[in-house]
Every structure is written in C-alpha cells, then in structure tokens.
Structure 1
Amino acid sequence: MRFLILPFLIAPLAFAHPDHGTKPGDDPGTAVKTGNGAWSYEAVPHWGELPGGKIIGPTHGGVVVDDDSGLIYVSTDSALSVLVYEPGGKLRDTIAPECQGFHAMAIRKEGNKTAIYGAQLNGNNPPLRICKIDTRGKLLLEIPNASTGEVPGGWSGVTGVTVAPDGAIFASMGYGSNIIHKFDENGKLLKSFGSKGPDEKQFNTPHGLAIDTRFGDPRLLVVDREKRRLVHLDLEGNWIGVHASNLRRPCSVSILGDTLAVAELESRVTILDKTGTPVSFLGDNPDKSQWANFGVAPQDMKLGIFTAPHGLSFDKAGNLYVQDWNKTGRVTKLTKL
C-alpha cells in the first residue's frame, strides 16, 4: 500500500519532543526524548560504550535481540566482530571472529536453541557468504557450500538475510546483481528471483530482508533502499505490492506485533503501522550534512539524534537498539516510554 505524508503531519511527528526541559542533543549525560504519542522513546546516555574509551570500530551491520536471554547482538566490520551486550549496556562478550563483517543478521529459535544468521559482506576468508552461528559464535552452516549449486548472477554484494518459518533461507545481493536467492535449510539453492531496473517490480539495492507474518501467510519484506520503499513478495518470489514508500533510503526493519521500525540511512528511524503509514519519527537529524555520513566523529554526534541508521531491532518490550553506519562505531538504545 502506498501512502502520502501530509505537510501538516510531518512537523509534529518529526520534531515533537515531550516538554521536560531537554531535547535530543542538549546534554550527552542526560536521557532525552524523541518520538510521538504511543511511540515515544528516551535515548539512554553512554549505552554500549566500551571500557577505557575504546572505540567499537566501523559499524556497517545489523542488530538482533535474543528474547530468551535478553542479550543484544551487534555486528561490526572491526576485529571485535559481533558484540554481545546486556540490556543495561554492559559488553558481555565478543564472538565469531571469523564472521567479521556481518552486514545484516536474523535471529531464530530452532527447537530449544537460538541461531543467528549473518550476511557476511566484508570478511577475510571467505569474503562473501551467509553464515549460521549459535549464540556463542560457533559456525553451524555456511552458504555457498558443496550442496548449494550454481548461483545466478554470481555470489557478490550480499547484503540481506532472513529465514522463513519452514527454515528456508533468503539472501539478497543488494550490492551486486540485485537478485534474491532462496535456499533450503542446508544451503541448497531452491530458486532465484528479482533484478535491477526501473520497473515497479524490479529493485534498486534490495538492501535488507525480513519475514512479515502480519498478514496471514508469511511474506518476504524487501527493503529496496534506492527506490526508498518496502515491498512484499510471497515466499516463492511472486510480487504482492509496495508496502511503504517515500522513505529516506531504508536499510533494515524490525517487526513487533503489528508495528514495524525502519532504519533509514538518511538520519532517521520511522515507525510504521500495519498499513505502512508512519506514526512516529525517531532521532530525526536537522543537519543534512550528517545524513548518511560515515565519517561523523563521536564529538559531533548528539544523543537522540541519528546520523545514518543501518541496523536496528526491537526487544520484546518495544525498546529499540539502533546502529548507525559510522567509522568509529555507534549503537543507541531507545527505551520505550
């Protein structure tokens, strides 16, 4: 479904902050509010900072939350690979050094265990693959493997990954062919679909993927970044329609109930309802020089204001964890009010 953002609606949603004496960026040591109505949040000062002033390193990845343990997993391009945080922001562990460079992640309960799937874009050996790991970082599966078969369009530019309820694995080549591949649970290629182009049913950087179960039969939700939209396909790759448009270069999504959060590279997180209509804007940055800017220095960032949201995840309480695309690394916790 398409939507229009009316001018009178944009201002109160994008810039409204409950009046409690602060606004985003005023004081990095004081929690500040952002959002609107039922989707109002408070940005937590210093959440996720490393001891001794150590930097995380480049963040160009994803965020997932394990609902059982409450732990938050943040992928990076640095040697720290995947950071494991406690909800309060304390770093518990770093895992999976061989999986450095997960560009996106998906988390899934499988029996009594939890698995994390990652789209490895910037690794060293091999450089491009889908990995399945356990929550301690043990590698359980990689794609391509001996059973995968030939992958149309070449295996390059993998940006997105998600897993269907039946275990089928989807991977998008958002920085390459713009094709989406469907594999079985062992990594055998089942089918490929999609292409790059100007037509409505073609993509331009299918950057992220998610499984959307809000409409009955599960759908594949494609985050089509450079067409600034979200689109629905069925799990065989057949076109359903545009779910939301006029976004600011969306990178990834997270779903909680009927609500969807979108990380937009142009310095904002948007909350959409089930119809694809925006109901709240979080951390909207008035400084356009920082939009989608990898080089913003820590001293130039303001609490509660984003520079380039790339990965994000709800936890089961509705709190949001947001990773900016940034050279030194940045993760923000937004506590739902």
Structure 2
Amino acid sequence: MTQHAASRSSQSSSRRSFLKTAGATIAGSFFAPAILGAADKAGTKKPVIGEGAFQYEVTHGWGEVPKHIQWGETHGVCVDEAGLIYIKHRSHSKSPMDAIVVFDPQGKFVRSFGKEYHGGGHGIDVRKEGNEEFLYLSDTKHGIVAKTNLTGEVVWKIGRPQAPEHYKNAKHRYSPTNIAFAPDGGFYVGDGYGSHFIHKYNSDGKPEFFWGGSGTEPGKMKTPHGMWLDTRDGTPKIAVCDRANHRLQYFSLDGKHLGFVNTVSFPADIDIQGDIMVVSDLHARVTLFDKDNQVITHLGYDQDWTNRVLDGFKIRKQPQQWEAGRFVHPHDACFDQAGNLFVTEWVSTGRISKLKKLS
C-alpha cells in the first residue's frame, strides 16, 4: 500500500471538517449510563456498562497471570490475527521480569518474554507484513523502539534519534511512548515523555522526518502519548493523544496540523475498528467515538467516581476501593475481532478488564 499525498483542496476540506468536529458540543456526551448488575448482593453477576448498541459485560482482573509474573502498571495491549492477547507491563521488581505476557481468548496463559524491557514496558502494537505478524514495542526507560516477531525475537531496535537539534544535548531525554503505522509500510514514533516530537521512519526503520515539540498552539503537543492511523473518512490521517493538552490532535501523513477533538479529558491511546474509535482516558473512563468523532458513550463514567480517582491519585494503589464497572486509570484499550474490548490500566498492581460486547 503506498502513501498518497492529499491535494490542497482535500486538505482544506479535511481541515474544515475536523475543526468543525473539534468545536462541537456533544449533547448528552457526559451522560453516565447506569451500571446494570452492580447491585447484585451475591457478587456473582458481572456489571454491564454502556448504552444502546454499545453495551458490554465487564470482567475485571481478566487473565490467569502465572506465578513468575508480578504485574506492574499494565500499560499496553494488542490482539493478533489468531486472537491472542498481548499485555505489556512495567514491573518494579528488583529482578528482571518478562515485560510481555500473552493470553489466549479465554484468558489462559500462553507465554511471556521480554526481560530486556523490564521497567520500561509501555506501548505495544501488532502489524501483519506479508504472511507474518510483528510486534512494535516502545520502551520508555531504555529509550528504544523494537520490532520483534510474536515470540519476541528481535528484527531491529532503534534508539534516540541523533540528527535533530532537540537531541544534540545529551541531557535531552528520549522516551518513546507509542507508535502508529503508516500506509507506506513505515511508522511514526511519539516521544511522549521526552521532546514531545513525533518521528517518521520508513519500513526499514530509517528516519525520514519529524515535527511537533512542546506547546499548546496547533502542531505543538504536550505528551503525544498514543497515536493511530485513522482512515475512516477515506483520507489517512494520524490521530494523536495530545494528553497534557487534554485533546486529540489530527495531522496529515506529512505532519501538517489538521484539527482538534476536545471531547476528551486526559487521552492515553487509541484503537479503531470499522467506524468506531476507542480512546482510553486516564481520567477513569473509556470513550467510544463514531466516524464523525462524536461521542457515542463514555464507558464506566461517573463524575463523583472520577473526582475520587483524581483526588491525589491515591486509589490507584488501593484495590479495595475499586468499584465494579468503573475504571481507575485506563492506559490502553483495543478491540478483538468480535468487537470485545480489552482495557489495561495504570494502577500499581496492574489490571486488565475484558468488556464483552452484548449488543
């Protein structure tokens, strides 16, 4: 698949479309749907969240974690073509621990690997190239992006970019948080915890160009944390979780600013299936958007609960305070082939939730 440069007129049309979306106030977007089943005194009925055609049965603490793994913050999740679920976590144990744990669709442990990413586990995505699938891993501690096969064998590793001015000073940190795939076989790397730049690489991992930097104006970012290639309207664009600016920011494939989506709180990462985009929001909710980037529903949302979660961030270390059908700090979310969702959370003990689609 080759990269197509949009014409000036189509760019203008896209820009108007996204600016219109960004300025829209979604009626009822902060409505908190009832959590069905949460009051079951026997504790056997799983909560159901969402509304209309988007209702999900929630299983918190999903996955049979093996004894040799002690969850740290569960940062990333992806699903391969066979339906296996890959979790990337950041353990704080003194002994190196596998950073990637793989489960089958029923939650049974399959394998683990990646001790070399211990303490830096963050983004993880999967892409099929020819007849083989590969993982793309972002490591915030060691400042690398790696491409591996599905069992962790390394194809290549990329460290800190050398050429750009913002890295010539050795004190300037490089801490890549997530990647997005490009239509031409290349990929984009967001330096979310470092320079706030986005770097474009070709399919061989060679640098091509970069853009961004810290700021609030269009084209600038504060923590470009997660990214995704959005092709829902037929024109490929890069959607970026501009987290500390409390917005999504859209760019053309060559890094030109297109517009904002402001109906997010503290967005962490993105996944898209069909016309539906899911945004994991670190402020205690998971949001679904339609193809026009209008909010369908905020899953698990309740403002009182959010206020508790954000009160000093204490609850992330207090599992006994967590409530069924509520999220604490969603850090990533992705769809499987059946439309179910897997949500990983930035909490001290780690937590995976499976959201089984009911409607």
TM-score, normalised to structure 2's length? 0.83
| Equivalent position amino acid for 1:323 in 2 | T
Whole-angstrom CA distance in 2 between matches of 1:210 and 1:94: 26
Whole-angstrom CA distance in 2 between matches of 1:152 and 1:210: 26
The alignment status of 1:104 with 2:123, answered yes or no, reads: yes
**Identical columns (%):** 33
Which one of the candidate residues 272, 277, 280 is aligned to 1:263? 280
The alignment status of 1:48 with 2:63, answered yes or no, reads: yes
Q: 2:50 — aligned with what?
A: 35
The alignment status of 1:23 with 2:43, answered yes or no, reads: no
CA contact (8 A) 1:24 1:305 kept: no
Q: 2:13 — aligned with what?
A: none
Q: 1:69 — aligned with what?
A: 82
Q: For 1:229-268, what aligned pairs fall within 5 Å after superposition? A: 229-242=247-260, 244-268=261-285
The alignment status of 1:114 with 2:133, answered yes or no, reads: yes
> How far is the alpha carbon of 1:289 from its aligned partner?
2.5
Distance 1:306 1:27, change over 3 A: farther
> How far is the alpha carbon of 1:110 from its aligned partner?
0.6
| Equivalent position amino acid for 1:320 in 2 | L
Q: Structure 2 regions of 5+ residues with no counterpart?
A: 1-20, 92-96, 168-172
CA contact (8 A) 2:219 2:256 kept: no
Q: Structure 1 regions of 5+ residues with no counterpart?
A: none
| Equivalent position amino acid for 1:70 in 2 | G
| Equivalent position amino acid for 1:223 in 2 | C
SS for the counterpart of 1:299 is helix
Distance 1:186 1:144, change over 3 A: farther
Q: 1:281 — aligned with what?
A: 298
Whole-angstrom CA distance in 1 between matches of 2:335 and 2:353: 12
Distance 1:313 1:260, change over 3 A: same
Which one of the candidate residues 331, 337, 344 is aligned to 1:316? 337
Whole-angstrom CA distance in 1 between matches of 2:336 and 2:287: 16
Question: After TM superposition, which residue ranges in structure 1, 4 or more long, deviate above 6 angstroms?
Answer: 24-27
Q: 1:216 — aligned with what?
A: 234
> How far is the alpha carbon of 1:45 from its aligned partner?
5.0
**Residues 251-307 of structure 1 deviation map (CA, whole Å, 9 limit, x = unaligned):** 001101010001000000010011111111212253222246573333222332110
Whole-angstrom CA distance in 2 between matches of 1:34 and 1:233: 32
Larger Rg: 2
Q: 1:164 — aligned with what?
A: 182
Whole-angstrom CA distance in 2 between matches of 1:130 and 1:185: 13
TM-score, normalised to structure 1's length? 0.89
How many aligned residue pairs are there?
A: 322
